[in-house]
Structure 1
């Protein structure tokens, strides 16, 4: 069954592309995956592109971002490596979950990109008034083997409430809780509580926005295994950046 927005959504009147930032698995000592981040065709930042999206274009933009991310990842990801592609999506732009996945599944099939390698993350900074609808989205995505994640956990709308209503596969702790955690007992306590709670739920924890070795060491000691941030690598436009770990390029 199709939803009306699939056929009536306004076309985009601008072009865009993607940059990629690695997610590092400190336990395995390797890149776990890459997040696709929207950029202009000349590398303009995400805000400049997102500010062009009108309410009538939100659905089309969400769909086109998925397709562009899969297309680029299929060309850039090394063959034979088990890597995740993390794609941001807007829950309020998904109207009928099954119908709204068709373009994603077609793109995955067209470029032979396995759905099990795709992670969909939504930010809790986007307020979702209908949590039942969001739960239906997550259920539908899991049917197709997608990994689900909450981005910016701890900085937006009702993070704990979302965990009560449903449990994603992964949460990304927001950088506001990460910044300076090595010298902040309060942040250390909050993050430790999040890690313990997620362990009970069986949810993987990722710390994002890492900028120093001290932040990384403190979070690793707290039991977190996945990391993302400038200390590992900055996003690279239409390519996969090398891990840097501060200054030394590997």
Structure 2
């Protein structure tokens, strides 16, 4: 989403900008570690209060409410995780964020830090996922975000790797803790030697850089087995569980503690 707001305008929007005229909540989808048969973490996904799609919510976000929404979404995800996640564990919470909605990294993360302290959620369990739907015009700004988030103890992940602009250039510039391979590369990998070669190469590069790899969008057991065979153990997709509204969906055969599922979106 584009925004032409200046840092001064963004500051006012974060602090006392236009109120959101809509409600939203989060659904959670597990990311599993197939090597250790455990749930590694959960991604928080924006939904309407009754399970409406993320698109229906994001379509209501304007330039004037972009900063307020980004802050509110982070806080909502952390507060729900504080209630749902087992205390004292190391299960990660992945939160999507928009780099264009961060005008100054240290200032814009304050609400997230306060929410984490309030619910007793350790910073080291927070993973912030960023993606590039449009080419970044200020690489240095995004690098400052990644640096500040690491200073705070957070993990960072480059989402949708292999799609659009989210490729090797961003990996070289930002060196996140994780990359998430886009589902379009994963789809049908068990029957496509070319896709297996590409993903094997991505995994080799990531390992050489000390970057972990998550593959998302897995829909079949055959895709999961093919990825595991390539050495990728962190997997996410409908094959394991669909997102659950304000709940942690169980994954058969994978160890995790969580609240019972209320409803699935």
TM-score range, shorter chain: over 0.9
1:6 maps to 2:19: no
1:98 maps to 2:106: yes
TM-fit CA distance, 1:237: 0.3
For residues 201-216 of structure 1, the aligned pairs below 5 Å read 201-216=209-224
For residues 1-250 of structure 1, the aligned pairs below 5 Å read 4-8=9-13, 9-244=17-252
Report the Cα distance in structure 2 between the residues aligned to 1:174 and 1:96, rounded to whole angstroms. Answer: 28
SS in 2 for 1:150: strand
1:190-220 deviations in whole A, cap 9, x for unaligned?
1011000001100000000000000000000
Change (3 A) 1:126 1:29: farther
Report the Cα distance in structure 2 between the residues aligned to 1:29 and 1:244, rounded to whole angstroms. Answer: 10
1:107-158 deviations in whole A, cap 9, x for unaligned?
1111111111100001232432111100000000000000000111001214
Q: Give the aligned length.
A: 244
TM-fit CA distance, 1:233: 0.3
SS in 1 for 2:22: coil
Partner of 2:258: none
Report the Cα distance in structure 2 between the residues aligned to 1:4 and 1:114, rounded to whole angstroms. Answer: 31
Change (3 A) 1:200 1:151: same
With normalisation by structure 1, the TM-score equals: 0.95
Do the aligned partners of 1:171 and 1:205 also contact (CA within 8 Å) in 2?
yes
Do the aligned partners of 1:34 and 1:86 also contact (CA within 8 Å) in 2?
yes
SS in 1 for 2:66: helix
SS in 2 for 1:56: coil
SS in 1 for 2:249: coil
SS in 2 for 1:36: strand
SS in 2 for 1:231: coil
Report the Cα distance in structure 2 between the residues aligned to 1:158 and 1:231, rounded to whole angstroms. Answer: 25
Question: Which ranges of structure 2 fall in alignment gaps of 5 or more residues?
Answer: 1-6, 254-265
With normalisation by structure 2, the TM-score equals: 0.89
SS in 1 for 2:242: coil
Report the Cα distance in structure 2 between the residues aligned to 1:226 and 1:102, rounded to whole angstroms. Answer: 30
1:52-99 deviations in whole A, cap 9, x for unaligned?
101111111100000000000000001232100000000011001110
